[in-house]
Copies of this chain bind each other. A is one copy, B any other.
Amino acid sequence: MRTGLPALCPQPPHRLPAAAAARCCACLSEDEYLRKLDAVSLPAGFRVGVCGFEFSPVELGGSANAVMNLTLIALDEPTPDYAAVFTRNRFPGAPVKVGRRRLAAAAPLQAVVVNNKISNVCSAGDGEADSEAVCSGAADALGLDGGAAAVLPLSTGVIGWRLPVDRMIEALPEAAAALSAGSALPAARSIMTTDRFPKLRSVSACGGTLVGFAKGAGMIEPDMATMLAFVLTDVAVPREVMQPMLRRAADASFNAASVDADQSTSDSLLCLSSRRVRGGESGGLSAAECDEFERALTTLCERLAEDVVRNGEGTTHVIRVRVSRAPSWELARGVGKAVVNSPLFKSAVAGNDPNVGRLVSAVGSYLGRTASELCLDDCSMKMGGRRIFARGAFDIDSAAEDAIHKHLLDARLSDADGASLPYPPHERCVEIEVDLGAGDAGCTVHGSDLTHEYVSINADYRS
């Protein structure tokens, strides 16, 4: 398994002497970063085409203009091998409902049509009919035999507004005309809304490639819904194998990440195979190849999930919590999420404050609600690699506190003056380890800190 992402800067460039900083090639400029991503090719059998257009949302009374991007992902041949994981939100968007129908019908799929700007969630009209009409338009533009049923729709954007279906159908031929088998970057950029940078990763497995891209940064505009992620592969993985694999990969990655604990009405993760690369066995992938593919899929999703957190609204630190020796994976994930969702701990991290009391309190609060019978005599915790808590008491002196403070400063995604660093996102993390001493399960969770910028982005529209 080889990763197709630029190597990452091991330490903050502003902390290096000038000469070393100049050699720190992983701290790419925006141009360099995008050139690197542009070199990530689509797997065999896929093409993408994008276009954008202006329209007047009816909800704005026809007075104001908005811009919508359309992204078409087309397969050269229809495929039965696809899988999807959707939001569990009880008020899901219409495209999620249509997507669930496609998955249940198991009809071959030949295209995905994605729009940003409007999520088609809880709109006053018939959102599902709107999504189906767009699928029909895409099938026509692509000349698909399967019609609308061969197209899966996905939307993110404002909740409550109606899709401009006619304008979308008018524009789809332009996206179809732009279809190209080259770089995956146009698709990764076109699905963005308020994302700060495109999120695109690739890995190799089983003689083929998995290319993943995602959008999602929180909810920047009022009512903006959150995350879409795509994995395209040329490796032939049967749908009955792919679906449970994708569920497990989502659990280990997107479902173990949190910017702000809010699950959107549109969250969707889709995996599509063009079936160009066959496994070593006549009937398909061998068991070893299945394992290899699943490892690659999981790694890809983990990296995309981390990219989403790193691109989180106002994020200045990514927090990585490794929970080990837990009685179950679910409990380990719960502990990790309790830490990255604690507003008190998130705020402390934003302020580079080594506030270990809040860390212990967040863990203890979660365990008290869910596992009050668990023996915690052997529980210990580390921050920045330093032991801070063991046997029910703190184990921290002022030297340890200074070291953790420095770890927090080093892990910042901004430079010393608080300015955002250029592309690419760095693999800097605030490292937390929680050893529950009570089992052999574990989970790694990623989250972001809580900053003034987060509040500004999400509060300061009208005040």
Q: Which residues of A approach B to under 8 Å, CB–CB?
A: 61, 87-92, 121-124, 158-160, 218-219, 222-223, 225, 260-265, 341-344, 347-348, 350-353, 355-358, 360-365, 367-369, 371-372, 374, 376, 389, 392-396, 398, 405, 450-452, 454-463
On whether the beta carbons of B459 and A343 are closer than 8 Å, the reply is no
Residue in B124, B368, B395, B460 whose beta carbon sits within 8 Å of that of A90 in the complex:
B368
Which residues of chain B are near A374, meaning CB under 8 Å?
A: 90
**Across the A-B interface, the 6 shortest Cβ-Cβ residue pairs:** A351-B459, A223-B357, A347-B458, A159-B357, A88-B368, A91-B364
Task: Report yes or no: B265 in contact with A361, Cβ–Cβ below 8 A.
Answer: yes
* Chain B residue, CB-CB nearest to A263: B365
Given A88-B369, A92-B364, A394-B160, A351 and B261 contact (CB-CB distance below 8 Å): no
Alpha-carbon distance between A463 and B351 when the two chains are bound, in angstroms = 5
A122-B91 contact in complex given A343-B450, A460-B351, C-beta closer than 8 Å: no
Knowing A87-B368, A343-B343, A365-B262 touch, does A458 contact B351 (C-beta < 8 A)? Answer: yes
Contacts of A265 in B (CB 8 A): 360-361, 364
B261 and A372 within 8 A (CB): no
Q: Other than the known A123-B394, A262-B361, A265-B361, what 17 A-B pairs have Cβ atoms closer than 8 Å?
A: A88-B365, A89-B361, A90-B365, A90-B371, A91-B363, A122-B389, A123-B393, A219-B358, A260-B342, A261-B342, A262-B342, A263-B365, A263-B369, A264-B361, A347-B454, A347-B458, A350-B455
Name 13 interchain pairs, CB-CB below 8 A, sorted by A.
A90-B364, A91-B363, A122-B394, A218-B344, A262-B361, A263-B368, A265-B364, A347-B458, A353-B461, A353-B463, A451-B455, A451-B459, A452-B459
| Cα–Cα distance between A451 and B91 once the two chains are bound (Å) | 27
Residue ID in chain B nearest A264 by CB atoms = B361
Complex: chain B residue closest to A453, CB-CB: B455
Q: What residues of B have a CB within 8 angstroms of the CB of A350 in the complex?
A: 455, 459, 463
Given contacts A160-B357, A351-B458, contact A343 B260 (CB under 8 A): yes
CA distance A299 to B463 in the complex (A): 34
Q: Which residues of B contact A223 (CB under 8 A)?
A: 355-358
- Give Cα A61–Cα B355 distance, bound, in whole angstroms: 19
Residues of B within 8 A of A452 (CB): 452, 455-456, 459
Q: Are B88 and A393 in contact (CB under 8 A)?
A: no
Find A365's partner among B89, B344, B455 (CB 8 Å cutoff): B89
Q: How far is the CB of A261 from chain B (nearest CB, A)?
A: 7
Q: How far is the CB of A349 from chain B (nearest CB, A)?
A: 8
How distant is A226 from chain B, measured CB to nearest CB, in Å? 9
